[in-house]
Structure 1
């Protein structure tokens, strides 16, 4: 039986904002949970590759959360995890076949990392901890928010590595993603000879470490500002 969301509009809106904030920043798959680091380091040698893998993963997350939420009333708890894995594996197989058929150059570049989406702990984690216990709309939003959070980090890291490593941004976007994405291709530093280290996996570690440090410092500064503002309000009230 499908459960309908009966929360008041204000409460539902607040819950939706929390879902978006968690997926995009507060509980980001990479920046907070430190999951999916293997494809992160191997695939994000360019922004195009990061965007491609991120979008494929996002589609799987949204569909897996949707199907799990719809089926939660008919799947026994005893077999819920194996059933969820079957759902995810089926979706990844479909995505892999579609990419191979319609975006074959991108499929060749991403290679083994498309089937390995099945083993992404973040997908099974969201399906098990959220979608299997939540209504349809929140489950879809959670999958979309987490997927977008994963995608923007992959694309950003790929872009940083690509600019520093080769002086381009979204190189081969039209070849890998289709002609509609040709407008993304940019030469940021003309006649740049490149820095190979940044393109290789060790460079991924270095860039990821720098991004994590910036995130931690940003959150620290914001927390200090909130504490100062709260103290000022308390002092004014007293």
Structure 2
């Protein structure tokens, strides 16, 4: 079983469901026209991920192999229904904006994949941590892409945050560029380009970290030899 640190790093970086596994791209690319849309979908996804991972981990020893996947789908669908009803009750306008992409969380391969690959094989607490970290990793990509598209497309950040956080968030809007509009960033092609940029940045950072680790590994024996020579001398 992986340590909690490894599980956390996998969800947030090494095995990020959006940047590495490239799962759940349909809602990710569709709703990230603004930060509030991205954050709303991200919170709903975290709730479903955590709930499904916990439930699957609890019943992992009691579900026959023949009905394993249908049982997982039913569990995920139940939590999606709960998230949908909560959004209808507390953030109805945002729920209307997100539309069909809330029910479509049921088909998000990232959620079913974690239930099958991790929660069905691990105890309760590691499954909880995995659900939280995978959800946070997915939400972080959603929010970054939403912020990028909102900034480049409208010149603003955190517009309409009151749809999610209520009246207290009405003044959270930040206007970076006055009277600015770049339609390409808001349309679907802008989502693909933005996602490609995020993946490229991650690959560059991974390459730099790998090169740095290899360089440190190659220099380590030389330092030991130099120390031995000095001691002998």
5 Å-filtered alignment, 1:127-166, equals 127-166=115-154
Would you say the 8 A contact 2:42–2:135 is kept in 1? yes
Q: 1:183 to 1:234 in 2, by over 3 A?
A: farther
**Alpha-carbon deviation of 1:133?**
0.7
Greater mean alpha carbon deviation, residues 112-121 or residues 206-215: 206-215
Q: Which residue of 2 aligns with 1:209?
A: 196
1:92 paired to 2:83: no
Match of 1:227 among 193, 211, 214: 214
Query: Which ranges in structure 1 are unaligned for 5 or more consecutive residues?
Result: 1-11
Of the three residues 41, 51, 68, the one matched with 2:39 is 51
User: 2:142 aligns to what SS in structure 1?
Assistant: helix
The 2-side partners of 1:209 and 1:116 are apart by 23
1:205/1:176 CA distance change after superposition, 3 Å? same
Q: Measure, in 1, the Cα distance between the counterparts of 2:46 and 2:169.
A: 18
1:19 and 1:192 map into 2 onto residues whose CA distance is 44
Contact 1:65 1:131 in 2 (8 A): yes
Q: Deviations over 1:180-216 (max 9, x none)?
A: 4445422122x23210110011001111111111111
CA deviation after TM superposition for structure 1 residue 151, in Å: 0.4
Are the aligned partners of 1:48 and 1:173 in contact in 2 as well (CA < 8 Å)?
yes
Q: Give how far 1:56 is off.
A: 0.3
| Structure with bigger gyration radius | 2
Distance 1:234 1:139, change over 3 A: same
Residues 138-184 of structure 1 show CA distances to partners (whole Å, capped at 9, x for unaligned) of 00000000000000100010001000100111110013442344454
Could you tell me which runs of 5 or more consecutive residues in structure 2 were left unpaired when the two chains were aligned: 226-233
The answer (yes or no) to whether the contact 1:173–1:184 under 8 Å persists in 2 is yes
1:61 corresponds to 2:49? yes
1:173 counterpart = 2:166: no
Q: Equivalent residue of 1:28, what SS?
A: coil
Match of 1:187 in 2: 175
Equivalent residue, structure 1, for 2:60 = 72
In 2: Cα distance, 1:172 partner to 1:84 partner? 35
Q: Deviations over 1:30-59 (max 9, x none)?
A: 110111111111100001110110110011
Contact 2:36–2:163, Cα closer than 8 Å, also in 1: no
- When normalised by structure 2's length, the TM-score is 0.93
